[in-house]
Amino acid sequence: MSPTVLPTPSAPLTLGELQKRYGLKTPNALRSRVEGLGIQPQQDGRSRVVAITDVALLDELHEHLGSGGTISSFLRSKGMAIATVEDSADSDADAVSDSVSDLATVPSSEPVSFESLLNAIAAVAQSKQSSPGERYRFLDDAAQAGWQVTKADLRWATGQSTVKVGQWRDYIFERVGRGLFRVHRADSGKGSKPKKGKG
């Protein structure tokens, strides 16, 4: 069965339209794709819509899944992957080695993006950081250096399965791109908002 080329939409699509576009039986099937890609639908009146550029990415994922791929293998192929954090230390190590080995086997004719290399390095570094102190140090370093970190980085650092924009403990997460966040310290007041007086 050859994949059908989907027409490029001229406007953002609602979640219901996307579910029909891909022939998915349940909203959960679409949600797993949207969340897997780090896409955040925007509220437009009563509906939540997905931007045209994000629809194009979902179209590519749909084609990839249709040819037997997975969301994880699609993310790796796009240089968007980082190790998935599991509950046990053994599965952490397996996920990291899988992520890094997949990046290492990219054919030499395809250029490896700088972001892919950073994600692979972060995955290796994260395999050694397991204590809460190391995780908070990562958040402090990210806030101080102004790093852009992935949703997977924040899931690992917070131990939360879902990462949302806003405050988590002493940190504020700001979304700066698809699946990318910037971390700020909530208690310092030095980052983006100047204090009154001398400061």
**107 and 156 together in one domain:** no
Rounded to two decimals, what is the model's pTM? Answer: 0.42
Rounded CA gap, 158 and 156, in Å? 6
What is the reported pLDDT for 147?
86
> Is residue 17 situated within a structural domain?
yes
Q: Write the pLDDT tens digit of every residue in 126-163.
A: 454 457 778 888 888 889 888 888 888 888 888 888 88
Over range 93-108, report the average pLDDT.
Answer: 45
Mean pLDDT of the chain: 74
Q: Write the pLDDT tens digit of every residue in 103-130.
A: 444 444 445 556 655 655 555 554 544 5
**64 and 97 together in one domain:** no
The DSSP secondary structure of 137-155, one letter per residue, reads HHHHHHHHHT-EEEHHHHH
Contacts of residue 117, defined as CB under 8 A and 6 or more positions apart, other chains included, come to 103
What is the reported pLDDT for 189?
52
Alpha helices in the chain (DSSP H): 15-21, 27-36, 52-66, 71-77, 89-104, 114-128, 132-145, 151-158
**149 and 195 together in one domain:** yes
What is the reported pLDDT for 38?
84
**65 and 90 together in one domain:** no
User: 119, 109, 130: which is closest to 180 by C-alpha?
Assistant: 119
> Is residue 136 situated within a structural domain?
yes
Where in the sequence is the domain holding 181, given as residue range(s)? 131-199
What is the domain count for the chain?
3
pLDDT class of 14 with cuts at 50, 70, 90: very high
